Amino acid sequence: MKIVVIGGTGLIGSKTVTILRRGGHEVIAGSPKSGINSITGEGLQQALTGAQVVIDLANSPSWEDHAVMEFFQTSSRNLLAAEAAAGVRHHVALSIAGTDRMPDNGYFRAKVAQEEAIVASGIPYTIVRATQFMEFLGGIADSGMVGNVVKLAPGQFQPIASDDVAANVAEVALAAPRMGIVEIAGPERAPLNEFIARYLKAVGDPRQVVSDPEARYFGGKVGEHSLVPLGEARLGRIGLDEWLRSARSAN
């Protein structure tokens, strides 16, 4: 099977490409550096010729509200049009758990727009909504810095390792289109502030984490279940402790 992975050289993309190639599939890792650009449209038609599946893992270089919305709208428009012309039979996109429950977060609003474009395209699709990646826990701590402490909301949090994300994306891509959403999350759930405090302690970071119900998550107000699946989800196999051990051994 020929599969094109847009954003195929990024964190999730590179892992997904490896999994699919090991399975014997013809996989194109699309990125601007390889001459495949979903924003300009460069190389899309040639890359998608003969492809059965396209996996969209493209990510905006900016989180500024206008820029991120423009990125996902433009990228989706160009990619879906090229897929329609090429007769692609399955569009898979990676989105975020709770993306429709945090409207004051500009990045989440842009992902909602991306999802809406996919649904309206008429191309058979599966949207994979993932919880936050464990690789970004340090960045989440940094985002909550107020003075000398980290202020984070106590809403539920269930981060997932990128290896588990890639495994699920690859599995979904090889299955029939769901014409809907698949949610994936890590195996452990706890309040956001407690999870980040545990992470910081494990990596020897002395910063204190303070629970603050009014603390924003990249601009968005966090409710009890804003960042986790509401119903049934596929759970990853890698917990925080195992992920930390793997990260240490890789360094």
Backbone angles phi, psi at 204, to 5 degrees: 75, 25
Q: Does residue 124 sit in helix, strand or coil?
A: coil
**pLDDT tens digits for range 140-172:** 999 999 998 999 999 999 999 999 999 999 999
Q: What is the pTM of this model?
A: 0.95
Backbone angles phi, psi at 15, to 5 degrees: -70, -40
**pLDDT tens digits for range 168-216:** 999 999 999 999 999 999 999 999 999 999 999 999 999 999 999 999 9
In this predicted structure, what is the pLDDT of residue 230? 93
Confidence of residue 133 (pLDDT cuts 50, 70, 90): very high
Selection from 106, 31, 116, 38 nearest residue 69 by Cα = 106
**DSSP H helical ranges for 88-213:** 106-121, 137-143, 162-174, 192-202
In this predicted structure, what is the pLDDT of residue 145? 95
In this structure, what token pair is assigned to residue 248? 């240490």
In this predicted structure, what is the pLDDT of residue 247? 85
In this predicted structure, what is the pLDDT of residue 251? 66
Q: Which domains does the chain have, with CATH numbers?
A: 2-133+161-186+221-237 (3.40.50.720)
In this predicted structure, what is the pLDDT of residue 54? 98
Q: Kindly tell me if the per-residue pLDDT of 30 is higher than 70.
A: yes
In this predicted structure, what is the pLDDT of residue 248? 82
**pLDDT tens digits for range 176-188:** 999 999 999 999 9
**pLDDT tens digits for range 63-88:** 899 999 999 999 999 999 999 999 99
